[in-house]
Every structure is written in C-alpha cells, then in structure tokens.
Chain A
Amino acid sequence: SAVISQKPSRDICQRGTSLTIQCQVDSQVTMMFWYRQQPGQSLTLIATANQGSEATYESGFVIDKFPISRPNLTFSTLTVSNMSPEDSSIYLCSVKSRGEYTEAFFGQGTRLTVV
C-alpha cells in the first residue's frame, strides 16, 4: 500500500484566484492521478500526472485551468486556476503502481470552497 499526504486538506478561496494542491507519496509510484468530486457526485478523472512531461488530460479538462506538475516519482501538484464557485469540489490525488493487478490508492482529498 501507499501512504498519500495531500495539502491543504481544505481551503476557502476568493473567485479569480488560484490554489495549488500538493500530493506527496511515501514511496515511488508509477502512476499518479488527479480526480475531482463535485458536491453530491462521483469522482471524475481530471488528468494523469506524468513524470518529466506534460500531464494527460481527460475530455473537458484543460491545462490552462488545471496545470499539473510532477517533478519526481513521489510528488505532484494540481493548480486550480482563476477559480469560480463551480470549482468548489473535493480534489483527490491517487497513485497506482504499474502492474496488471494493482489497485489505486487515494489521498484524503482537498475540500475547496470558492466564494
């Protein structure tokens, strides 16, 4: 298993500002992902964070809005840019080791409220 630390755990931000969320893993992992969980809804994959290259974004998510960095195998950041109230969600970091039968582990999430 992997222990994932996400910071901050929650924040209240003004519209138009940006917030950077950090994800730290206690071991080297191959795959890192960022998910969004909107109020009362399920999890939606935002992007796959690739080490040393640009993240791979899912349909409906763009780099300008959600820039992602992954400088090494244990750390990644997600920035929510130019925030609006619609960005109020829980953002979760997830990690997975390469291998056919491995499962994904999740951080505790960052609860973001945009006012």
Chain B
Amino acid sequence: AQSVTQLGSHVSVSEGALVLLRCNYSSSVPPYLFWYVQYPNQGLQLLLKYTTGATLVKGINGFEAEFKKSETSFHLTKPSAHMSDAAEYFCAVSEGGGGNKLTFGTGTQLKVEL
C-alpha cells in the first residue's frame, strides 16, 4: 500500500521568500511522485512529476522538487514566492510501471503575504 504525508496543512510565507512544502511517501515499489496545485474553485493542475532519471525535477511557475529515496521525501520548493502562488498544493504517489491509481496527501494551503 502507498501513502503520502504532507507536513503542515497551512504554510504562510512573505512575498519573495523561499517556499518549502514537505511531502513524504510510503510505497512498496519504486514510486512515481507528483505535485498538483489547486486554485480556488478550480480543478487540479500538474506542477511537476518524478518518474525515473534525474532526481531534481523542475516544473511550471518556477517550482522544483527533489526525490530523495533515502529520506522517502519529495519536497516542493520555489526560491521566491509570488502572490499568485497562493493556492492548495497536493503531493501524490502512484505505483511505478504504469500504475494508475493516485494516492494524495492531505494538502497544504499556501498563503503569501506582502
């Protein structure tokens, strides 16, 4: 069975500050990992994904995440927060090899303050 833990249901940062959203996973097989963002009253949009290869992946809007197998982590970062980054962020895991079921974390609400 696979699971995802997102530490911190709410994170607040100042505009221009570093964004760090934490995600730890549990999977019995090599995982595929995803970060999705959900803006108010909208569906989920893929930010980035890790499947194989380079462990540091870059996504849209300046976000990146690093897969660390030894720490079972896939934390999301952005060097400089923008007001438009305020949204809810979900980390998700699926089993590798074409597995299709996504297991989501509980989400982190990011607030960006002036």
Q: Contact residues of A with B, CB < 8 Å?
A: 4, 6, 31, 33, 41-45, 48, 92, 94, 96, 98-101, 103-109, 111
Question: Are A42 and B101 neighbours in the complex by a CB distance under 8 Å?
Answer: no
Question: Are A100 and B90 neighbours in the complex by a CB distance under 8 Å?
Answer: no
How many A-B residue pairs lie within 8 Å, measured between CB atoms? 54
B43 → chain A, closest Cβ, in Å?
4
Question: Are B90 and A42 neighbours in the complex by a CB distance under 8 Å?
Answer: yes
Within 8 A of A (CB), among B17-46: 32, 34, 36, 41-46
Question: Are A105 and B46 neighbours in the complex by a CB distance under 8 Å?
Answer: yes
Question: Are B43 and A103 neighbours in the complex by a CB distance under 8 Å?
Answer: no
Number of residues from B at the complex interface, CB < 8 A: 24
Q: Is the interface of A mostly helix, strand, loop or mixed?
A: strand
Question: Are A45 and B90 neighbours in the complex by a CB distance under 8 Å?
Answer: no
3 cross-chain pairs, A with B, having the tightest CB-CB distances, nearest first: A106-B43, A106-B44, A108-B43
B90: which A residues are within 8 A, CB to CB?
Answer: 42-43
Question: Are B98 and A42 neighbours in the complex by a CB distance under 8 Å?
Answer: no
Q: Contact residues of B with A, CB < 8 Å?
A: 32, 34, 36, 41-46, 49, 51-52, 90, 96-98, 100-107
Question: Are A103 and B34 neighbours in the complex by a CB distance under 8 Å?
Answer: yes
A68→B107 CA distance, assembly (Å): 27
Question: Are A42 and B43 neighbours in the complex by a CB distance under 8 Å?
Answer: no
A98→B32 CA distance, assembly (Å): 15
Whether A103 touches B98, Cβ cut-off 8 Å, given contacts A42-B105, A43-B90, A92-B43, is: no
B45 → chain A, closest Cβ, in Å?
8
Question: Are A43 and B98 neighbours in the complex by a CB distance under 8 Å?
Answer: no
Question: Are B106 and A41 neighbours in the complex by a CB distance under 8 Å?
Answer: yes
Name the residue on B nearest A43 (C-beta).
B104
Q: List 21 A-B contacts (CB under 8 A).
A: A4-B43, A6-B43, A33-B102, A41-B106, A42-B105, A42-B106, A43-B90, A92-B43, A96-B100, A100-B96, A100-B97, A100-B98, A101-B52, A103-B46, A104-B46, A104-B100, A104-B102, A105-B46, A106-B44, A109-B43, A111-B41
